[in-house]
Structure 1
Amino acid sequence: MFLKKSLLYIITQSEFGGAQSNVLDLIKGFQQEYNVHLATSTEGSLTESIAAINVPVHLLPNLIRSINLFHDYLAIKECISLIKEIKPDLIHAHSSKAGLIARVAGWICKVPVVFTAHGWGFSPGNPAIRRWIVLLSEKLAAPLAKKIICVSETNRHLALGLGVSNQNSLVTVHNGINDIPVSLANPAHQPARLIMVARFNEPKDQATLLKAIAQLSDQSIHLDLVGSGSAWESCKDLAKSLGIQDQVSFLGDRADVPQLLAQSQIFILCTHYEGLPISILEAMRAGLPVIATKVNGIPEEVEHGKTGLLVPDKDVKEVAKALSTLIESPDLRQQMGEAGRQKFLEEFTIERMIDETRTVYEQVLKQ
């Protein structure tokens, strides 16, 4: 009788974001091929979704996001105990802290680890001290992983250039998402409704978008901001101080994002640094033109002038200019939305991501 191998996914936080969405898709994709387990710090949106598909969830209470040597030591011990309990054949870690803890615990237990870097903490745009600390820790931890998956070619080249691991260990697997049966958007509809889907904390930059909206004279446009986080209240105060509170809806966390995208005409993501944002893929899937900050892997998703417009980081004037261009041209929005939808179908499907990840797993398990 053929026995399925066991696969343990580890991620720091269970609040829903791009990395958590990626983990959920991977678990669903490999649930039939492996005995899959998930480990994370606390219960949340991700653990609820995982429990609903009957995948075991394990909590590591000391796996916290911030640097704390005492908690990190305890998290390693918790992770080692879990590895000894479920005896995985392979560990796949996501997010920086879980990546460090899992690599150390896996090395101690002699279990191979794959680490996905959804965005490097040493990327330009991060605070200088953080970049130095993260770069040092990643250089030290890199040899403990059999493979390091980068979600964009930009991030892979950044790691190689800074001496984090090598050509054999670093591999690019672009994020992919399901092509769910939801109505496509009508980008040409007037007046244009704008939407940004992102957490209200670093590295996202809703403030720049709000300031750009305030520079536009078209009072008929409306912006939906989906998400929650530490900067939510300050952004609401900013909208009020700019006199645009009636043009902006703060929708909080929503379970109907695909439907909200289908009702919109332009998607925006202002951000300081990224890996390969899933929110942009969701907008492309919906057939929306995208305005996004030109950082890290975003230009691998958004083709400037073809599927959307790329703008410099923190540049209020250029964001406003890009918004005006698309707001005033329904035909251009339609063309870009259709091109983005086609690019999604060709390059960013979940089937492609699962196939490429499976190849990584097979290579590691054969070593």
Structure 2
Amino acid sequence: MKIVQVITRMDTIGGAQLHVRDLCIALAEEGHSVYVVTGGNLTLYEELNTVYCQSLMRNLNVVADIKAFLELRSILKSMQPDVIATHSSKAGVIGRLVGWSLRIPTLFTAHGWSFTEGVAGKKKRMYRMIERLMGRMTKGVITVSEYDKQLALKHKVLPLEKLLTIHNGVHETELSRDYRHPDNRLTMVMVARFAPPKQQLDLLKALTKLQQFEWEMLFAGDGPLLREAQCFVESEGLNDRVQFLGNRHDISAILQMSDIFLLLSDWEGLPLSILEAMQCSLPVIASDVGGINEAVKHSVNGYLISPKEEAELVDKLAVLLTSPSLRRQMGEHSRLLYEQHFTFEQMHDKTFAYYEKIIEQS
């Protein structure tokens, strides 16, 4: 099978990019011809067969978007794939328009809708209208959480027969939990870009109220709001407790040296970082948004926190910081839920079966 994945950017580390990377590698190893078409002229994933659509950009720009449509149409017309799989909002729209114009079976993976709860009102209405129009040209849509499927149905974006939930899945890694902080501090970690919708600053503010406990906080990721977080740490005298690791390619090793995983966010689909933490048997504290509650079960493998509820966050952090047996118990539940529902093999098999179904229906 010849498969083309279309995504707006591959020059950053994010859930959609890692999803595309891992899926492409696995499909190629099975003998399929797999290509990634992405905007700009840069990728962080040199192992993929990448074709650049230089006019394709994230920001709305009518002239550039028309150029991107024409450029992408030329690329895909010459490639003649059996199926086009689109990802991210801009590539999802332009890619589906191109697929429809070329009569090539095309689907979209929604890694969290642009009209999800937490998005500003005007943007939300605009994105809903766009997705309703695109739904008529879309053979099928994969949602990475049941939450996103129900959101699409609620707003009449797509009919039920065009929607399929396939939970994200992550690869198994070799576990080695031998790390111990030299002064027996507990290690907490958050893996996310310093950009909306993530809320690293809210977490740091909560941690200032827990300085009576022995802990260290690791942040993996880069982004435009990083400097603001660094300045807060300096002003609060937390330099000896908080580390900013930047973009990392050894996330599994960082998770394995940690005791608690955190993710604060205003909105989400189903974050890969949480699944990676569960694979490493970590208890999770996360914002109760999007599809997170499909992976994190409150008081079972972690705690779900209402957005902007600092007192609630401080309370649950204190509970886990002071209870080794509860951390261990919740970590074991995380691992079990990962094995049951969130392995890469499960996600891969369901996704490829859907590709085949879309082609057959066309």
- TM-score band by shorter chain is over 0.9
Say whether residues 1:360 and 2:321 are aligned partners.
no
How far apart are 1:219 and its partner, in Å?
4.8
- List aligned pairs for 1:119-138, cutoff 5 A: 119-138=112-131
Aligned residues: percent identity?
37
How far apart are 1:342 and its partner, in Å?
1.0
Look up the match of 2:34: 36
Residue deviations 1:326-352 (CA, integer Å, cap 9, x gap): 001011000000110111011101110
Say whether residues 1:257 and 2:251 are aligned partners.
yes
Q: Gaps (5+ residues) in structure 2?
A: none
How far apart are 1:242 and its partner, in Å?
2.9
Alignment length (residue pairs): 358
Say whether residues 1:25 and 2:22 are aligned partners.
yes
How far apart are 1:227 and its partner, in Å?
0.2
How far apart are 1:240 and its partner, in Å?
2.1
AA aligned opposite 1:10: V
Look up the match of 2:201: 207
AA aligned opposite 2:193: R
Tell whether the 8 Å contact from 1:267 to 1:289 is kept in structure 2 after alignment: yes
Look up the match of 1:324: 318
Tell whether the 8 Å contact from 2:40 to 2:55 is kept in structure 1 after alignment: no
- Choose the corresponding residue for 1:308, options 283, 290, 302: 302
How far apart are 1:322 and its partner, in Å?
1.2
Residue deviations 1:305-363 (CA, integer Å, cap 9, x gap): 01101101122221111111100101100000011011101110111001111221111
Look up the match of 1:166: 159
CA distance in 1, matches of 2:125, 2:115: 7
C-alpha spacing 1:187/1:134, structure 2 compared with 1 (3 Å):
farther
- Choose the corresponding residue for 2:79, options 81, 86, 109: 86
Tell whether the 8 Å contact from 2:35 to 2:50 is kept in structure 1 after alignment: yes
How far apart are 1:192 and its partner, in Å?
1.2
CA distance in 2, matches of 1:241, 1:252: 20
Tell whether the 8 Å contact from 1:187 to 1:287 is kept in structure 2 after alignment: no
CA distance in 2, matches of 1:290, 1:44: 34
AA aligned opposite 2:63: F
C-alpha spacing 1:317/1:45, structure 2 compared with 1 (3 Å):
farther
Task: Give the RMSD, CA atoms, in angstroms.
Answer: 1.6
Say whether residues 1:333 and 2:296 are aligned partners.
no
- Choose the corresponding residue for 1:47, options 45, 48, 56: 45
Tell whether the 8 Å contact from 1:187 to 1:330 is kept in structure 2 after alignment: no
Say whether residues 1:8 and 2:22 are aligned partners.
no
How far apart are 1:33 and its partner, in Å?
4.2
How far apart are 1:250 and its partner, in Å?
0.7
CA distance in 1, matches of 2:318, 2:47: 39
Tell whether the 8 Å contact from 1:187 to 1:334 is kept in structure 2 after alignment: no
How far apart are 1:143 and its partner, in Å?
1.5
How far apart are 1:46 and its partner, in Å?
4.0
Residue deviations 1:75-116 (CA, integer Å, cap 9, x gap): 111110011111111000011111001000111111111100
AA aligned opposite 1:64: M
- List aligned pairs for 1:223-234, cutoff 5 A: 223-234=217-228
Residue deviations 1:105-133 (CA, integer Å, cap 9, x gap): 11111111110000111111111121111
User: TM-score w.r.t. structure 2 length?
Assistant: 0.96
How far apart are 1:187 and its partner, in Å?
10
User: TM-score w.r.t. structure 1 length?
Assistant: 0.94
For residue 4 of structure 2, give the secondary structure of its aligned residue in structure 1: strand
For residue 299 of structure 1, give the secondary structure of its aligned residue in structure 2: helix
Residue deviations 1:9-59 (CA, integer Å, cap 9, x gap): 011111111111100111122112421111011344543232xxxxx2110
- Choose the corresponding residue for 1:148, options 141, 146, 149: 141
CA distance in 2, matches of 1:139, 1:185: 51
Look up the match of 2:101: 108
How far apart are 1:191 and its partner, in Å?
2.7
CA distance in 1, matches of 2:213, 2:66: 54
Tell whether the 8 Å contact from 1:185 to 1:261 is kept in structure 2 after alignment: no
CA distance in 2, matches of 1:186, 1:291: 21
CA distance in 2, matches of 1:253, 1:99: 26
For residue 168 of structure 1, give the secondary structure of its aligned residue in structure 2: helix
Look up the match of 1:181: 174
Q: Gaps (5+ residues) in structure 1?
A: 51-55
Tell whether the 8 Å contact from 1:8 to 1:91 is kept in structure 2 after alignment: yes
Look up the match of 2:272: 278
AA aligned opposite 2:274: I
How far apart are 1:184 and its partner, in Å?
4.3
CA distance in 2, matches of 1:206, 1:83: 40
AA aligned opposite 2:68: A
For residue 144 of structure 1, give the secondary structure of its aligned residue in structure 2: coil
Residue deviations 1:227-285 (CA, integer Å, cap 9, x gap): 00000001111222333232110110111111111111000000110100000001001
Look up the match of 1:195: 189
For residue 39 of structure 1, give the secondary structure of its aligned residue in structure 2: strand
For residue 136 of structure 2, give the secondary structure of its aligned residue in structure 1: helix
Tell whether the 8 Å contact from 1:38 to 1:57 is kept in structure 2 after alignment: yes
CA distance in 2, matches of 1:246, 1:45: 35
